[in-house]
């Protein structure tokens, strides 16, 4: 059976299963993905567990394009029935009004860090820049609110992520025997506002300036991030010393990856809004 010939009934079942897991995860309830896959198997038409997992990843991809949170363990995968799946996901959300309340809570909730951070294990490898996927045409968005962007703009989350990155910078410099440089780090977004194009002015080991933009999410490291034209333009002009610090899994044990250069050099840049001017 071909990968993309799921029946309408199968698609409805797997969407319902996905959202049952997603809502639990949003509300801090641990989910067992393997258990869910095994429960689905006898209800589907000769599917394998890997086929179910791929379809869950397809749903994640649709939700990303809709600006809706997705299950952390299901990395967005974009090779799917482009006409059918987005429509069925939209229909499910529209019929289940309680979902949007959970999306709002996701974007508004700002957990506080209560346990010490081990800076030696904080940093991980960044996700690979994959081959660019064809952008999904979302003709029916049931919420018209980008909850992913709203969560990233949650100031309480953002400030904690920036503070974490700032303390990590101090740790790096002190560990390298550059304690004097660590005392020169400035939290410019907090002291001077968000208009500079970066959040933290740190120092490279040779004493030169290091510009750090911090983006924080409670989702996994594959979640998209959002940036302003000013941040984008500053990254182009200062690419040798510009760094993205991506803090993720913030609701549990935060991790972070870093990338150096302009945004164009390490991710695909997509316009999300335009301005008309007379």
- Report whether CATH 3.40.1350 matches the domain 150-266: yes
Task: 94-103: list long-range contacts, CB under 8 Å, 24+ apart.
Answer: 94/142, 96/19, 99/19, 99/23, 100/143, 102/23, 102/26, 102/27, 103/26, 103/68, 103/69, 103/143, 103/145, 103/147
Q: Which tokens is 145 given?
A: 């609110």
Domain range annotation of the chain: 8-108, 150-266
- Nearest by Cα to 204 from 259, 256, 242: 242
Q: Give the phi and the psi of residue 81 in degrees, each rounded to 5.
A: -65, 100
- Please give the chain's pLDDT, 278 residues, in tens: 344 588 999 999 999 999 999 999 999 999 999 999 999 999 999 899 999 999 999 999 999 999 999 999 899 988 766 668 999 999 999 999 999 999 999 999 999 887 889 999 999 999 987 766 656 667 788 888 999 999 999 999 999 999 999 999 999 999 999 999 999 999 999 999 888 999 999 999 999 999 999 999 999 999 999 999 999 999 999 999 999 999 999 988 899 999 999 999 999 888 877 777 78
Confidence at residue 243, expressed as pLDDT on a 0 to 100 scale = 98
Confidence at residue 273, expressed as pLDDT on a 0 to 100 scale = 75
Confidence at residue 5, expressed as pLDDT on a 0 to 100 scale = 81
Confidence at residue 84, expressed as pLDDT on a 0 to 100 scale = 84
Confidence at residue 2, expressed as pLDDT on a 0 to 100 scale = 43
Confidence at residue 1, expressed as pLDDT on a 0 to 100 scale = 39
What is the rounded CA–CA span in Å between residue 152 and residue 224?
10
- Nearest by Cα to 22 from 264, 218, 244, 241: 218
What is the rounded CA–CA span in Å between residue 267 and residue 252?
25
What is the rounded CA–CA span in Å between residue 177 and residue 162?
23
Residue 269 Ramachandran class (φ > 0 left, ψ -120 to 50 alpha, else beta): beta
Structural contact between residues 248 and 256, judged by C-beta atoms closer than 8 angstroms: yes
């Amino acid at each position: 059976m071909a990968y993309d010939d799921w029946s309408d009934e199968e698609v409805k079942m797997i969407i319902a299963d996905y959202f049952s897991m997603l809502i639990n995860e949003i509300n801090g309830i641990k989910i067992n993905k393997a258990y869910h896959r095994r429960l689905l198997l006898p209800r589907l038409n000769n599917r394998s567990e890997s086929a179910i997992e791929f379809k869950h990843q397809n749903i994640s991809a649709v939700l990303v394009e809709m600006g809706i949170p997705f299950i952390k363990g299901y990395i967005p995968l974009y090779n799917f029935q482009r006409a059918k799946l987005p429509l069925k996901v939209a229909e499910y959300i529209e019929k289940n009004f309680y979902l949007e309340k959970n999306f709002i809570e996701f974007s508004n909730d700002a957990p506080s860090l209560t346990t010490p951070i081990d800076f030696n294990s904080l940093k991980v490898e960044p996700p690979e820049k994959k081959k660019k996927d064809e952008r999904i045409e979302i003709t029916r968005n049931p919420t018209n609110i980008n909850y992913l962007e709203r969560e990233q703009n949650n100031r309480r989350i953002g400030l904690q992520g920036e503070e974490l990155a700032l303390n990590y910078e101090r740790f790096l410099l002190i560990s390298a025997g550059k304690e004097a440089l660590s005392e020169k780090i400035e939290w410019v977004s907090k002291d001077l506002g968000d208009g500079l194009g970066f959040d933290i002015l740190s120092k490279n080991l040779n004493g030169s300036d290091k510009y750090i933009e911090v983006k924080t999410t409670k989702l996994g490291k594959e979640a998209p991030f959002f940036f302003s034209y000013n941040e984008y333009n500053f990254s182009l002009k200062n690419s040798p010393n510009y760094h993205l610090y991506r803090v993720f899994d913030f609701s549990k044990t935060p991790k972070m990856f870093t990338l150096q250069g302009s945004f164009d050099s390490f991710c695909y840049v997509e316009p999300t809004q335009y301005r008309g001017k007379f």
